[in-house]
Structure 1
């Protein structure tokens, strides 16, 4: 089982980047946050909604110094074929981040999201900091799509906490909202400020 605060498993695989195939590894992004998300299969149903939503928010992640990377057990050729199908016909069109082809299933397995008997991944999303340390991990049932705005908010909160030692982000924290000091006095000050 992966542990928050520990090194994330290294990976290297061929990815579809634009319309090209390139080898991509976690270490390629040293110094940047990585949002690695797994989805079950190409040419399915919930998956394109998430892939497109991540692509639509890619620039916002990039502003935070975060690279989105998608991953499924499909081949690079399947990824390419899916991008060539228009969105209004069930395809995903142009995607603004790499999509890994985990045909060996090693990446999904190392991140603990592989359903062995089905040979597909669960909907896992892993936020990894610039030092390769796992900051956040969430896994959804395959019939429930993820909220990409929440993934973005979590990156923002992780980065805030990292740059403000001793402070924590309370529930529903967003940039500009009050944080609190991680001690009894700080907690009381926070609740006095936000109490209605």
Structure 2
């Protein structure tokens, strides 16, 4: 079952942010774009490379109004697995989350989902491209972003006239 288009479920968690522990909830994400970036475990082989890649695009994300938090981002603890269960990525019996990325819009609706196996890292530049496309689509009703769309590129107006011509 897809969760794209569904609302972010309520959660509360403790996060590490700017050198201290703070309480964070779903209410902190409403009103802005948000990225939820799950990884299986600390101090593994792929996870640190992904976190570094995400940190490298932090300023661009902030420029788009996307909240990732700051370490450059919030690092949430999910000891009771509420958040990973809410997103459907908890591996039962193992107690670890799958490698998953979820993007929510300012209304708290899940717009983007990417889940990969534990041995496959994600690409922050592609995440940034997808967020830009999702923002464009939200701000420009009647337009959609084709494959490999980049900011400023041509979009499409969905129509039966396009069938077989693309």
Q: Please state which band the TM-score falls in when normalised by the shorter chain.
A: over 0.9
What is the deviation of 1:181?
0.2
- The equivalent of 2:115 in structure 1 is 139
> Is the counterpart of residue 169 in structure 1 residue 149 in structure 2?
no
**Count of aligned positions:** 165
Q: Equivalent residues in 2 for 1:93-112 (5 A)?
A: 95-112=71-88
- The equivalent of 2:135 in structure 1 is 159
- The equivalent of 2:102 in structure 1 is 126
Larger radius of gyration: 1
- The equivalent of 1:47 in structure 2 is 47
Deviations 1:132-151 (Å, cap 9, x if unpaired)? 00101110001100011111
- The equivalent of 1:85 in structure 2 is none
What is the deviation of 1:107?
0.8
- The equivalent of 1:79 in structure 2 is none
Please give the alpha-carbon distance, in whole angstroms, between the structure 1 residues aligned to 2:125 and 2:141. 24
What is the deviation of 1:118?
1.2
SS of equivalent residue, structure 2 residue 138? helix
Deviations 1:44-69 (Å, cap 9, x if unpaired)? 11101111111111111111111126
Relative to its length, the structure with more helix (as a share) is 1
Once superposed, what is the RMSD of the aligned Cα atoms?
1.6
Please give the alpha-carbon distance, in whole angstroms, between the structure 2 residues aligned to 1:117 and 1:42. 18
> Is the counterpart of residue 114 in structure 1 residue 90 in structure 2?
yes
Please give the alpha-carbon distance, in whole angstroms, between the structure 2 residues aligned to 1:26 and 1:63. 22
Please give the alpha-carbon distance, in whole angstroms, between the structure 2 residues aligned to 1:52 and 1:116. 28
Q: After superposing the two structures, state which structure 1 stretch, 31-40 or 2-11, moved more.
A: 2-11
SS of equivalent residue, structure 1 residue 13? strand
> Scaled by the length of structure 2, what TM-score is found?
0.93
Please give the alpha-carbon distance, in whole angstroms, between the structure 2 residues aligned to 1:145 and 1:178. 29
4+ long deviations beyond 6 Å: none
What is the deviation of 1:2?
4.7
- The equivalent of 1:11 in structure 2 is 11
